[in-house]
Amino acid sequence: MKTCMPLLAAFAALALAGCSKPEQTAAPVAAAPQSGPRVIEINGNDAMKFNVIAISLAVGEEVRIVLNNVGSMPKQAMGHNLVVLKPGTDTVAFATAAAAAVATDYIPPAFADAIIAHTKLLGPKQSDGIVVKFDAPGEYPYVCSFPAHYQMGMKGIITVK
């Protein structure tokens, strides 16, 4: 911040020198809106289910998807994440590759191009959020990539219109 001070001082000097019009002096510097994107909360539980399996969004709508692990089993046995994939991704192949990707918290490097966004792998009572915005209509699958959870039905679809 210290490096900004000479600039600010320069602007102030210009303003005092009479270069400013009234409407320019009134602009607040830190007036960013406090309301962020719409939040969609999804719970994952010890029964290997998401409580939300269908989401509808408008093209270009920015949303924050928050995954809450509401279970109580240890992360090593019952971790959850939420991975959003591009339309048309072979989700079975993805889940199979993910199950082997232990070193990367079940995010398979070979599918990096298919992943739009993903949360961290969450232990019990942990939460993580991702901000997404889809510029093209389609059906975007989301899955938990912890081993066997996709096969148990821990998945959903984001429909973008």
> For residues 114 and 154, which CB has a smaller minimum distance to Cu ion in the complex?
154
155 belongs to the binding site for Cu ion (CB under 5 A): no
> For residues 81 and 89, which CB has a smaller minimum distance to Cu ion in the complex?
81
CB of 121 to Cu ion, least distance (A): 9
50-58, 67-75, 86-94, 145-153 -> range binding Cu ion (CB under 5 A): 145-153
Among 154, 155, 156, 160, binds Cu ion (CB under 5 A): 154
User: DSSP alpha helices (H): ranges in 17-78?
Assistant: 22-25, 75-78
**DSSP letter (8 states) at residue 158:** E
Beta bridge partners of 57: 160
144 belongs to the binding site for Cu ion (CB under 5 A): yes
Beta strand segments in 4-137, E? 38-44, 54-57, 62-69, 83-85, 115-118, 127-133
Q: Interaction with Cu ion in 68-97: which residues (CB under 5 A)?
A: 80
Q: Compute the half-sphere exposure of residue 47: CA atoms within 13 Å on the CB side of its CA.
A: 4
87: Cβ contacts below 8 Å, ≥ 6 apart: 138, 139, 140, 141
Give the three-class secondary structure for 21: coil
146 belongs to the binding site for Cu ion (CB under 5 A): yes
> For residues 80 and 118, which CB has a smaller minimum distance to Cu ion in the complex?
80
Among 141, 149, 155, 160, binds Cu ion (CB under 5 A): 149
- Interface residues with Cu ion (CB under 5 A) are 80, 144, 146, 149, 154
